[in-house]
Amino acid sequence: MIINSVLKQLLGGALLYLALAGSAVNAGQQRILVLGDSISAAYGMSLAQGWVALLAGRLAESHPQVTIANASISGETTAGALLRLPDLLAAHTPDIVVVELGANDGLRGYPIAGFRSNLSKIVELSQQQNARVILVQMDIPPNYGTRYTSAFHDSYSIIANSTDSALAPFILDGVAGQPALMQGDGIHPTAEAQPRLLENILPTLTTLLD
């Protein structure tokens, strides 16, 4: 009887240890959801060549507890992403949401007010699920007029400030306008440009991870 009692105590202690260890492992895990358009969907190349896949490879070494879900779709707008977001948040329960959106709104000349409203709701909905948000700065060509392009550009810092979100630099910084790094359409970066896109995003992201 005494032996059985001791065994039960030892077994109970072992199970408690495993439960606590499992909780510690789960607590250390971090999930990233990338919500973007063709820039993050690796348009014109394999997904393995895109900056999101490169990010996964980089973090596998420096932050092995991190997992990444890429929910980016070519041609996506802020309105389309907002409709998809509730299901994505439920499915992935992300700790960080990287929002790389808006270029298609701007290139189609959508009203700034609607664009800002959608983007703000994406951020707020993510934060309501306890996710931290990184807004990725996007820009559009100057031929849309100074007033529109300036309002579009400023939208990101305005929303980041009002929602206390992190603001990452323009993802195509050092790439846009460089023919050798852009595909023939002049809009999408090449596979060779993807490491630069990653470097533009990585400092802001690692700050949240660390």
Active-site option among 5, 46, 185, 210: 185
Q: In the annotation, is 38 catalytic?
A: yes
Q: Give residues with Cβ within 8 angstroms of 196, minimum separation 6.
A: 174, 175, 181, 189
Q: In the annotation, is 185 catalytic?
A: yes
Angstrom distance (rounded) from CA 59 to CA 202? 10
Active-site option among 37, 95, 155, 188: 188
Rg (CA), the chain: 21
CA 118, 123, 129, 134 torsion: positive or negative? Answer: positive
Active-site option among 37, 38, 40, 92: 38
Nearest Cα to Cα of residue 137 among 84, 188, 98, 96: 98
The DSSP string of 63-88 is -TTEEEEE---TT--HHHHHHHHHHH
What amino acid positions are annotated as catalytic residues? 38, 185, 188
